[in-house]
Amino acid sequence: MRLLNIKPDRAWTVALAALPFFALIVAYMVGSGIRLAENPNDKLLPSFTAMAEAVKHYALEADPRSGLYLMWNDTLSSLSLLLTALAISTFIALVVGILIGLLPIAGATFGPVVAVASMVPPLALLPILFIIMGLGDGAKISLIVIGTTLKLVRDMALRVKDIPAELLIKAQTLGASTWQIALRVVLPQMLPRLIDSVRLEIGPAWLFLIAAEAIAADSGLGYRIFLVRRYLAMDVIIPYVIWITVLAFLMDLALRLLQRKAFPWFAGARTA
């Protein structure tokens, strides 16, 4: 039997998927065990017990200084920034992307500038943003918006252009105006595709958020990581990284489910 024809059955699929995670955990435990045997106070690879204790301290006990549950407070603060920013970029991308893709005049006017601007590395703009917007939430939201919108706009414009010309012509022969075509033909086609694009931008959005929080903040998941980094508190950093990963994964999952529920026809359209 050829290798490419061996298909794992259901149980094996689960086992194989778990294998890399399991190997990572074992590798970590071995490495951590070796270092802790040498120096019980080692901070680099803390034991799982130490991490569980740190999580308990950060998530389940109020901080004696501020009275806040730090991990929840950080999560709330980061998520509110991230979701606000993603909502803004999604809205801009939808409107501008459809305009550029559908109207040749808008495409000629804004297409090139969006193409050029999307090449600006957003992180390089951070110092400028902080001067213009101050150190507050405005600068952080702007960074995420700038970092994600332009790519979303370009993607949307390309998707609009992918719509078969026959469809648009047919709508016109049936007497639809530009406005009606945009609203009734293009928009429904674009919404599920927009969800696809936004899913891909979740990663970059977190990256920009954490970068901004590292520079100036008083709460947030990225803030905490960069703060405790000062004393190499890996027992806090590692759970926080895992937590961010879980949050990002859940956001992705939520969008996927939304797409499936709201646009059940799209799965068929994608494979066609």
Q: In terms of CB distance, is 97 or 220 closer to another protein?
A: 220
Task: Please identify, among the stretches 19-27, 91-99, 150-158, 246-254, the one whose residues bind another protein according to the rule CB under 8 A.
Answer: 19-27
Instruction: Give SS3 for 67.
Output: coil
Binding mask 132-161 for another protein (x = CB under 8 A): --xxx-------------------------
Contacts of residue 73, defined as CB under 8 A and 6 or more positions apart, other chains included, come to: 219
Whether 152 and 223 have beta carbons less than 8 Å apart is answered as no
Quote the CA–CA distance of 32 and 42 in Å, as a whole number.
9
The number of residues that bind another protein (CB under 8 A) is 45
Helix axes 70-102, 234-262, angle to 10 degrees: 40
Whether 143 and 129 have beta carbons less than 8 Å apart is answered as yes
Candidate residues 217, 225, 238, 244; the one interacting with another protein per rule CB under 8 A: 217
Q: In terms of CB distance, is 162 or 218 closer to another protein?
A: 218
Candidate residues 13, 14, 17, 44; the one interacting with another protein per rule CB under 8 A: 44
Whether 89 and 201 have beta carbons less than 8 Å apart is answered as yes
Q: In terms of CB distance, is 38 or 166 closer to another protein?
A: 38
The residue assigned the tokens 């494979």 is: 271
Assess 26 for contact with another protein (CB under 8 A): yes
At 110, list the tokens.
């804004």
Whether 63 and 126 have beta carbons less than 8 Å apart is answered as no
Candidate residues 14, 17, 31, 245; the one interacting with another protein per rule CB under 8 A: 31
Considering only residues 46 to 75 of the shown chain, the ones binding another protein according to CB under 8 A are 53-54, 57
Site residues, another protein (CB under 8 A): 6, 12, 15-16, 19-20, 23-24, 26-28, 30-32, 34-35, 38-45, 53-54, 57, 127, 130-131, 134-136, 214-218, 223, 226-227, 229-232
